[in-house]
Structure 1
Amino acid sequence: MNQNNRFLKFTIGDDDKKIVRKFLVQRKFSSSQLHNLKNKGGQIFVNHKQRHFNYPLKKGDQILIVLNTEEPSDLIEPMPGKVDVVFEDDYLLVVNKPPGIASLPAKAKDSKTMANVVKSYLIDKKENSSIHLVTRLDRNTSGLMVFAKTSYAHSLLDRILHTEDFKKFYLAMVYGQVSPEKGLIDLPIGIDPKAFYMRNIDHDLGKPSQTLYETVEKFDDASLLKLKLLTGRTHQIRVHLTAIGHPIIGDDMYSKKIDPRMDRQALHCYCLEIVHPVTKKLLKLTAPLPKDMVMLKSVLRGEKNG
């Protein structure tokens, strides 16, 4: 049984706190994680001997933390399905999500979502099957999605989510040619008062939201943009591009028109650059443009040439 993701190893250095509890807090353990470690079957070993939170440490000590077993939520049922794994280790799982599937179940439990499929995948691997969603994508957005394998890994990733240690890049095909060709969209986003599931630009109640964009290719009446999210609001890219007059092709919710060339918004999370919160290595992960967007690009290029 693969249980590697339940073990954490540390060597005490000069600058580390010298009491076990203070050291764990320094290493970003939350109070609930400390509680679970103490009361739900976690274990602490210092130099191969089991110790408690108040044990004094010295430089060079080897600490082994055995995390408690997590109880998976019954709200997410495991459902078999294809999981396109882009990266996986003991701490995180990055998958390439196809369009047309939600990230997490809504209240109805019967529809298949990425969380259900990933849970089934982890159970098949005999791993901790608690679902820790770090990044989510709209149902009709495709591309890279990140799951953490433990609550500890989840909290470490959450801390860097909107920093330069966790960069998210998207490709979008939009109506029209964007001017200037690159720039920053800095407009606050709030809930649309006319429809709770939509978002809009709201200068009074909206939350600060920033999206960097750059034109990658121009077509006759469309553009391929590369986008970098600086914040993580619901529908952020879709709302921001609509606000500057260049909605995403196929995004009928915001463009207010059906496009026969694309039956979803042409938006894909194609690249993540993450400084791994445990190993500190830079992960550069990519997911190729899905078929429907490749076809749309060739259609747009054809219009350009013809």
Structure 2
Amino acid sequence: MQNNRFLKFIIQKTDKKILRKFLIQHNFSSSQLHNLKNKGGKIYVNHKQRHFNFKMEIGDTLLVVLNDEEPSDLIEPMKGDLDVIFEDKYLLVVNKQPGIASLPAKARTSKTVANMVKYYLQEKHENSSIHLVTRLDRDTSGLMVFAKNSYTHSLLDQILHSNDFQKFYLAIVYGKVTPSKGLIDLPIGIDPEAFYLRTIDYKLGKESRTVYETIENYEKDSMLKLKLLTGRTHQIRVHLSAIGHPIIGDEMYSLKKDPRINRQALHCYQLQIVHPVTKKLLKLTAPIPPDMVLLRSVLKG
């Protein structure tokens, strides 16, 4: 059993020495400080329990014991095949298959990745509160990140769209993109005619930027590598459609059904994350799923 409730620090010269100021310096939120104080969290300096006003010295060992988290009953644990790519005391990264949602809708009846993660963590007797850091559309496959406690979740949120947290996708699109690489910088907003769709909106849309590069050309179509610089709903799908190269199989934005694949050919294949606790660089990869491999071979002829 891994215990992800313990956080250990050695006090350095550049650290704040008053306990509360140290915790704020290390990105503990006001709600996390409240929980430490009032909901069962504990703080030890050199093995002695201390309060927020305690003054520490260089070289002291600080142990923060996070409070227990009550799992939400909105997410029911459900057994399923979970493809775990990376796991430690703080993070869980899984490879999502196409055709399954990230989180349950209001009805809460169908199995989602979050339901399976909750079951998986409960079976390991770990904190089973769900902290979803990155989500994918139902028919997009690839890497999804879960934090194992609220503190790690908070740290990841702070770096989510920085160079410390980079997300790369593969998409197979209609046509050959010109130029072969570049930046799509178009604001995205809610489609006024359908709330579940997104559209380019120069008045009300939010800044949205996607870097793309062609990595394979076929007779008529191509495969792109994409990097998200922002994280808008349907961002890649909307951006590629807007430049005239919708994703093959993306019926919602291409406005046509493609018999060669039964979902959009979009896969989150790589993450590069500076681990928020250990500070080590994680380079994680999920293989291209079989339906996209088949589509690729068909396009190659």
- TM norm structure 2: 0.99
Partner of 1:271: 270
Amino acid of the structure 2 residue aligned with 1:158: D
Partner of 1:152: 151
Partner of 2:35: 36
Partner of 2:116: 117
Partner of 1:248: 247
Partner of 2:236: 237
1:50-88 Cα deviation digits (max 9, x unpaired) = 111111111111000111010000100001101100000
C-alpha displacement of 1:3: 4.6
CA distance in 2, matches of 1:217, 1:23: 50
Partner of 2:171: 172
CA distance in 2, matches of 1:3, 1:170: 31
Mapping of residues 69-88 of structure 1, within 5 Å: 69-88=68-87
1:122-167 Cα deviation digits (max 9, x unpaired) = 0001000000000000000000000000000000000000000000
Q: Secondary structure at the match of 1:5?
A: coil
CA distance in 2, matches of 1:144, 1:210: 20
Partner of 1:103: 102
> Would you say 1:53 and 2:37 are equivalent positions?
no
Q: Secondary structure at the match of 1:115?
A: helix
Amino acid of the structure 2 residue aligned with 1:28: N
CA distance in 2, matches of 1:106, 1:54: 44
1:199-226 Cα deviation digits (max 9, x unpaired) = 0000000000000000000011110000
Amino acid of the structure 2 residue aligned with 1:27: H
Amino acid of the structure 2 residue aligned with 1:266: A
C-alpha displacement of 1:106: 1.1
- TM norm structure 1: 0.98
Which stretches in structure 2 are left out of the alignment for 5+ residues?
none
> Would you say 1:227 and 2:243 are equivalent positions?
no
Amino acid of the structure 2 residue aligned with 1:150: N
The alignment yields a C-alpha RMSD, in angstroms, of: 0.5
CA distance in 2, matches of 1:68, 1:172: 42
CA distance in 2, matches of 1:256, 1:112: 28
> Would you say 1:142 and 2:151 are equivalent positions?
no
Q: Secondary structure at the match of 2:4?
A: helix
Amino acid of the structure 2 residue aligned with 1:124: E
CA distance in 2, matches of 1:161, 1:122: 23
Identity %: 76
Q: Secondary structure at the match of 2:170?
A: strand
Which stretches in structure 1 are left out of the alignment for 5+ residues?
none
Partner of 1:89: 88
CA distance in 2, matches of 1:288, 1:14: 44
CA distance in 2, matches of 1:103, 1:240: 22
CA distance in 2, matches of 1:83, 1:127: 16
1:23-72 Cα deviation digits (max 9, x unpaired) = 00111000000001111111000000111111111111100011101000
1:157-188 Cα deviation digits (max 9, x unpaired) = 00000000000000000000000000000000
CA distance in 2, matches of 1:18, 1:278: 20
CA distance in 2, matches of 1:205, 1:292: 36
CA distance in 2, matches of 1:79, 1:264: 24
CA distance in 2, matches of 1:260, 1:179: 26
Q: Secondary structure at the match of 1:25?
A: helix
Partner of 1:196: 195
Amino acid of the structure 2 residue aligned with 1:22: K
CA distance in 2, matches of 1:24, 1:3: 23
CA distance in 2, matches of 1:102, 1:256: 22
Q: Secondary structure at the match of 1:121?
A: helix
Partner of 2:184: 185
C-alpha displacement of 1:280: 0.7
CA distance in 2, matches of 1:193, 1:40: 44
CA distance in 2, matches of 1:25, 1:71: 24
CA distance in 1, matches of 2:66, 2:126: 13
Q: Secondary structure at the match of 1:4?
A: coil
Amino acid of the structure 2 residue aligned with 1:73: S
